[in-house]
Structure 1
Amino acid sequence: MTAAAGATEPQDEVAPVRAGEELDWTTLAAHLRANVDDLDGEFSVLQFPKGSANLTYRVSFGDRRLVVRRPPFGKIAPGAHDMGREYKVLSRLHERYDRAPRALLHCADDSVIGAEFLVSEYRDGIVVWDSLPGSMAHLPNAGERIGLAVIDGLADLHAVDPASCGLSDLGRPDGYLERQVRGWSSRWDAVAGHAPSAETAKIVQEVGARIRASVPTSQRAGIVHNDYKVDNCQFTPGNPDRVTSVFDWDMATTGDVLVDLGTLLNYWPDRTVDPGSDAAFIAVPGMHGLDLPSRAEVVERYAAGSSLDLSSIAWYEAFGCWKTVVILQQLYARFVRGETSDERMGQRGDLVEPLARRALGLLPG
């Protein structure tokens, strides 16, 4: 039984487990052998190193590979990192949406590895981060094709009837936006004391006030991923035209589907805006090199397959920015409190204010 299986593999997909993020591998292996069929061979584990919140590991039993996900260490925001919710979604959604990896097990017993956790199937493929993968870089218009595939994957998700795969009880669509706004306001309040500066806190609070003052009327309810973005999508090497898997479903629900489009726009670089303006700032600056379609093209592509009125999409984009601001602040607060040894989290505070300024520019005063 080993806790690492050598050097980082191509694409830096997996790596040896970070110091301080080891689990009780013996107990985990025994639990999986007892509860998941056909696990033979030597146990080994590597970590998916690029995620920022949930701890995600690739465990192997001989040639059989699985994914194990658990919440991060330390204090968890209410309703966040819900492994039971993710299991519910992924154990059913794959029947109607083949981009959803199938969940195999949910363990709510904290005594196994110190927290509840989820086990799902492992899928081979590549995730696009801050540069074009080598298998796609030589293809014509690769960045544009990747972007359009990501948008199409979102539209296809929103076309799924939750009742068709047993998810009609996943959430409460009535009053969804109002509850979301209240919930994210509370999350900010819980970590505002660790804001990088008083000015940063003031700007974020102003964004929240404007968000609350201009909530639009929801048009249609469907399955909402709640963190849909390019680097939560997987592709087959050499094929930028279709997303094959979508990851990170722990915040999924049923509600106003335009929240997902706003979240996607929040992360999306725009080659048509002044690079020095607030409107250009995104939380993953390296994505500018992907040469994705503009945000206007994102909205146009989504609208082509939708009957929804997108005239209020700026509010949804601002809401997406604000949510990301809160998440960045949560990650930074965990670092400040000494709950993670991941030095990347200590840098998240630098992103809070510029992203909040972008959100402010999208909202009426």
Structure 2
Amino acid sequence: MTDVESLLHPARLGPALATATADHRWATFDARLIAGGKSNLTFELTSAAGELILRRPPQGPLLPSAHDMAREARVQRALAQTSVPVASVVYAETAAQTLDTPFYAMEKVAGHAIRDTMPTGYATAPADRHKIADALIDTLADLHSIQPAAIGLDDYGRPEGFLARQVARWRKQSLASRSRDVPALDALATALAADLPASPPPGIVHGDFRLDNCLMDPAHPGRVAAVLDWELSTVGDPLTDLGLLLFYWPQHGEPNIPLVPTVTTQEGFPPRSHLLSRYAERTGRDVSAVPFYEAFARFKFAVIIQGVAARSAAGMMAGQDFGEVESDVIMLAEAGLDALGAA
């Protein structure tokens, strides 16, 4: 059961939204937790004035550098002036005031968030599903083509030594959130740190770019309506986004990975090789080191689901339960070692 009162403090949030929007109808609202959020909590707010989406961290102690609402709001506001589609930020608090934690509210964008099934009647033709894949990879290529300094994000990250810090950071996150040792995951972290490729020129990195973190235009399958969930964004090695997208793009006949959408196994969705070649063509980047980035994606996702399970067990995920994931973490670690040829 979601405790809206303690998570959203309606008596305080309503007046704050009314002031920010200059619309008194936001003084009172209804709230619904949107299922599927595995890290930050996402609510749909409804009032006589319309609808907004609110993002806030989970309750309880948080891991260092995680759940940074100020970064999410900042990057979306910066990208609003580019061709990368994002939701407009309506209100943001970077200090723990109204909700006793930083948060932000943004417009609700009409679109399909596609996970394990296709919306009824949507993109039923193979050609339309191919368009979805092309729109996704083209949006990622467009994001990576933006010069951070051109939109005020020159200080948004530290690209020098990015990959080494990423491996170290996610290993630290694993140690902070695990309930027991996972030797295979530690071995993967060691192997990744020992085999770092030379990074391409830095770009804006989404950090969790995948189909279900984008809203697809309901009328045009070949258009991304908005890219969501910018919690892990930074400036760094753009191929980390590509490796993660490929990881999140299972093909027909492959085993299911818990918490990873399976819709791309359906007829009409092109294979990962198509995404890879289209990205290379659109960006002109050398993608020969992609196996490393795919291995890193497995490491990162294994750590993420460790954290999800830990927060769920601690009652920090508004009643959402994601079950036991230890065997899945081991499977992902071993797959990452295989990708590196270090098994």
TM-score (norm: length of structure 2): 0.91
| Corresponding residue number in structure 2 for 1:35 | 20
Q: For residues 30 and 349 of structure 1, do their structure 2 counterparts lie closer, same or farther at Cα, with a shift above 3 Å needed?
A: farther
| Corresponding residue number in structure 1 for 2:108 | 122
Q: Is the Cα contact below 8 Å between 1:99 and 1:246 reproduced in 2?
A: yes
Instruction: Kindly provide the CA deviation profile for residues 271-324 of structure 1, in whole angstroms up to 9, marking residues without a partner as x.
Output: 3xx535xxx746425335434321211111111112211111000111111111
Q: Is the Cα contact below 8 Å between 2:122 and 2:218 reproduced in 1?
A: yes
Gaps of 5+ in 1: 1-17
Which segment is superposed worse, 103-112 or 84-93?
103-112
Superposition CA RMSD, Å: 2.0
Aligned mates of 2:279, 2:172 — CA distance in 1: 31
**Offset at residue 250 of structure 1 (A):** 1.6
| Corresponding residue number in structure 2 for 1:326 | 303
Find 2:215's aligned residue among 234, 237, 247: 234
**Offset at residue 336 of structure 1 (A):** 2.8
Which segment is superposed worse, 154-163 or 282-291?
282-291
1:155 maps to a residue whose letter is A
Counterpart check, 1:275 vs 2:246: no
Question: After superposition, where does 1:203-282 map in structure 2 within 5 Å?
Answer: 203-271=184-252, 275=254, 281=257
Q: Is the Cα contact below 8 Å between 1:319 and 1:359 reproduced in 2?
A: yes
Find 1:286's aligned residue among 259, 262, 278: 262
Aligned mates of 1:304, 1:282 — CA distance in 2: 31
| Corresponding residue number in structure 2 for 1:23 | 8
1:125 maps to a residue whose letter is G
Q: Is the Cα contact below 8 Å between 1:266 and 1:282 reproduced in 2?
A: no
Instruction: Kindly provide the CA deviation profile for residues 328-351 of structure 1, in whole angstroms up to 9, marking residues without a partner as x.
Output: 000111223343353432244453
Find 1:335's aligned residue among 296, 312, 315: 312
Q: For residues 215 and 147 of structure 1, do their structure 2 counterparts lie closer, same or farther at Cα, with a shift above 3 Å needed?
A: same
Which segment is superposed worse, 36-45 or 305-314?
36-45
1:345 maps to a residue whose letter is F
Q: Is the Cα contact below 8 Å between 1:126 and 1:234 reproduced in 2?
A: yes
**Offset at residue 364 of structure 1 (A):** 2.8
Q: For residues 142 and 344 of structure 1, do their structure 2 counterparts lie closer, same or farther at Cα, with a shift above 3 Å needed?
A: farther
Aligned residues with identical type, % of pairs: 33
Question: After superposition, where does 1:109-258 map in structure 2 within 5 Å?
Answer: 109-192=95-178, 194-195=179-180, 201-258=182-239
Q: Is the Cα contact below 8 Å between 1:146 and 1:242 reproduced in 2?
A: yes
**Offset at residue 37 of structure 1 (A):** 2.7
Q: For residues 152 and 327 of structure 1, do their structure 2 counterparts lie closer, same or farther at Cα, with a shift above 3 Å needed?
A: same
Aligned mates of 1:240, 1:349 — CA distance in 2: 37
Counterpart check, 1:94 vs 2:75: no
Instruction: Kindly provide the CA deviation profile for residues 19-62 of structure 1, in whole angstroms up to 9, marking residues without a partner as x.
Output: 24543111111221223333526522222212211111122331
Q: Please state whether the residue corresponding to 1:264 is helix, strand or coil.
A: helix
**Offset at residue 137 of structure 1 (A):** 4.3
Gaps of 5+ in 2: none
**Offset at residue 189 of structure 1 (A):** 1.2
**Offset at residue 93 of structure 1 (A):** 1.1
Matched residue count: 338
